[in-house]
Structures are given as structure tokens and as C-alpha cells.
Homo-oligomer: A and B are copies of this chain.
Amino acid sequence: MTQLYNAKRKNCTKEMKHIATLEKIPESRLMKNIADGHTVIVKSQRHSCIPVGIGKNLRIKINANIGTSNFCNQISLELEKLDAVVKYGADTVMDLSTGGDIRKIRKTIIESSTIPVGTVPLYDAITQNPDVASITEKNFLDAIKMHIDDGVDFITVHCGIKRDHIPYLDSRIMGVVSRGGSFLVKWMLYHNRENPLYTHYDEIVEMAKEQDVVLSLGDSLRPGCIADATDAAQIAELKILGKLARRAYRQDVQVMIEGPGHVPLHHIVKNIKLQKKYCHGAPFYVLGPLVTDVSPGYDHLSGAIGGAIAAWHGADFLCYLTPKEHLGLPGLDDVIDGVIASKIAAHAADIARRIPGAEKADILMAKARSNLDWETMYATALNPEKARRMRLETLQDGKEVCSMCGDFCSAKINLESRGKYRSMI
């Protein structure tokens, strides 16, 4: 029995109770949001992890991608990344491995992770059988089954891209930038058949239902550059995703919708509105979005700009980008910087959305700053180790001020008069 099944029948599960308490939202409202398909609870019945709520009235969540490629595949490094993303506050993690013994890596990550784990089963099918000629519809479905059996909590499935959409690609600069999507297009063209994840969608829904795995409906046609944003290809697929979301919903299977990608600032709000409209308010899971294409090395920052605006205006779930996006597989430091960048975007949006208690840490930091209380400043920082290291780079410990203003520190001057300005004037 899925969370959606229970919510529709007003059965408050222990996961709902946990999330209602944690997020300070009445159980009845949370249950209604789930029943309406506006919120999902991510947690497979096969995985003992913290259940995470994503959607309406909830704190914005962030996802960190880890995983190997055929150029870098050390499982120990992936476990270090996992520890780091949990430590710095990712709500979920996706294992996108395409190199090495990927089933072993996946199982190890699931076993080690206290937060929900997502995957893209298609990568498994392709890496095991990269030859477009010989890979079969059954291979795709078997990979999904295997991932669900392995205990993943949510899966990206590229069910919305159809043969009809392919001609739209000719007017794009970047074509299909989704790894899974580009392979599916190649498959459809080679075999002259419809996307098997579309034609077998009901079977996929059935499989997800068994363990209450959340379907994250992938946007194969997300724009890969700002010039391609919000184009006919993207919107055509989005409409299909909305229809598929309803079909899953009727089967009590939880769904979220994946979104772009590369989107200029002035398109972001429009993108959110279109998603909410076509997809009936289903949670929106966006990748960035990046507000420019020219920031390799800083794409976590470009994505945080787009992510903050998107989340403020209704996106529910932000997939991080690391500084290595478009350049290579992220290392440990990249992963940490990616998580923090997304945390900043999500947190800024939570403040703007007036989520109760969202400003608490900011007030603590402001008070610590006005008291020149460095230990509390470090402890309240999103990355305490980096904050401490950066301060000590230019100043020995034990000093009251920092090396920026030195003795001309405004906080130090304020301390002389604080709280008694009115009486002094």
C-alpha cells in the first residue's frame, strides 16, 4: 500500500507523522497534499532510510548526484562523496554510476545511505548493452525491475519522449542533452519504434507500486542551452509527462516531474507555471536551472541563481550542479561545493516563501556577528570547516576581528553603543 493509497483514504502513516512533525505542518494538510498528488514521500519499502517529503508547503529539498563513469570508478570515493553530501545537508542522493561494477556500487550506496537514493535504471541497461541494435525493450524493463528490487527509493524514467517529438530537434542548437534521452532517440530511430518506456508505462507503474518507489518522470528534452529553453520539444514532452503523471496517480503511484536545465532568468517563472498547469501540481524537480551557458567551473553558482528563483516560485526539489558540470566527473570538493550552493538556493527560497523557522539560523548568525562570536559563526555556517579555514588563512586565532577591516571593524564600534543609541542622542 503506497503513501498515496493511504493518503487518499486518510490513513496517516508513520512516515507522514514523521514528516508532519519535522516540517511543522498539520498531518491533515500533508495528507491532503499527498492525496492531491502535490506532495510525495520518498522512501522505498525495501530501504530503511529517513523518509523525505517533497512538495507543497514543505521546505525545499535538494538532491546530490554521485556515481562513477568509465574514467573514474572507485567505490571508496563514491562512499566518501555519500558521507559528504549527507553531512552538508543533501536530502536525497542519486547514484548515476556508469562505470565499474555498477550493481555492486548501487547496492553498497543503498545499504550505506541514511537518505533516500535515486537512480536512472536506463544507464544500467545501456552500460550492460551499449549496442543500440541488440538492446531490447525487455532489457530496459528488466533494469527498472532490478533497481526496484535493489531497494532504490526513486527512479528517473524517460517515459515522456515520443517519436513525434524527434523532428523538433532539428531547430535546436544542443539537441538532446539527457544521456538517457539521447540513447532512446537513437534507439527509436534505429528500430523505427516508439519509446518502450512510453509504450510499457503501465508495467513500470505496476513495478513502482510494489515497493512504493517514486517515479521521477525524466525530461529527455530539457534544454541544454539557454537558446533552446522553453521550446516546442520541451513543452511537447512536458504535456506528455503531465498525462503520465495522472495515469500513475490513478494507480496510487507517487510521481514527480523533472525539469530543466538551461533557462534564462526571464523564462524561469513561466517554466514553473507551465509545469504546475500541465502536470496537475505534481512536485517539480529541476536541474539548476543554469541561467547562462558560459560558466563552466562555476555552474553550481549559475544553477543556484536559477534554483533560488525556481524554488521561490514553486519548484519543489533542486538537483545540485557542481563546479565540474560540463567538464568532468566531480571530485569530493566539487560535491561539497555543489551541495552548499543548492542549500543556499533552497534556504533563500524558504525564507522568501515564509516557511516557519526558515530564518532561525540567519538570526543566530547575525547575533553571533554582532557579538564577534567566531565559534558560533563557524557553527552556524553552512560549511563550518571552510569558514574557519578561510578566516585563519589570513589571521591567527585568538583575534577579536578579521583581517578585512582589522581595527576598523564596524561590529567592534557598534559594541560600544549597542542597545543605548536612543539614550545617547
Contacts and interface: CB of A to CB of B under 8 A. Distances in A.
Contact of A99 (B177, B292, B406): B406
Work out how many copies of this chain go into the complex: 2
Contacts of A419: 170
A363 to B, nearest CB: 6
A135 to B, nearest CB: 13
Q: Nearest 4 pairs between A and B by C-beta?
A: A225-B366, A265-B352, A182-B410, A175-B414
B362 A328 contact: no
Contacts of A305: 304-305, 308, 344-345, 348
Given A411-B177, A425-B166, A406 B362 contact: no
Interface in A139-195: 163, 166-170, 173-179, 181-183, 185-186, 189
30 contacts: A70-B407, A71-B394, A71-B406, A130-B408, A166-B421, A173-B367, A174-B370, A174-B411, A175-B417, A179-B410, A182-B410, A182-B414, A226-B362, A227-B359, A265-B309, A291-B344, A291-B351, A292-B347, A293-B365, A293-B369, A294-B361, A295-B340, A297-B386, A298-B341, A305-B308, A323-B390, A325-B404, A326-B404, A328-B393, A329-B403
Contacts of A411: 174-175, 177
Interface size class of A (residues with CB under 8 A): 35 or more
A351 B167 CA distance: 28
A274 interface: no
B417 A186 contact: yes
B71 A395 contact: yes
Nearest to A425: B166
A386 B324 CA distance: 10
B189 A348 contact: no
A300 B288 CA distance: 17
A340 B298 contact: yes
Given A302-B344, A312-B266, A362 B99 contact: no
B328 A404 contact: yes
A327 B293 contact: no
Interface in A255-294: 264-266, 291-294
A317 interface: no
A297 B410 contact: no
Contact of A170 (B123, B308, B381, B422): B422
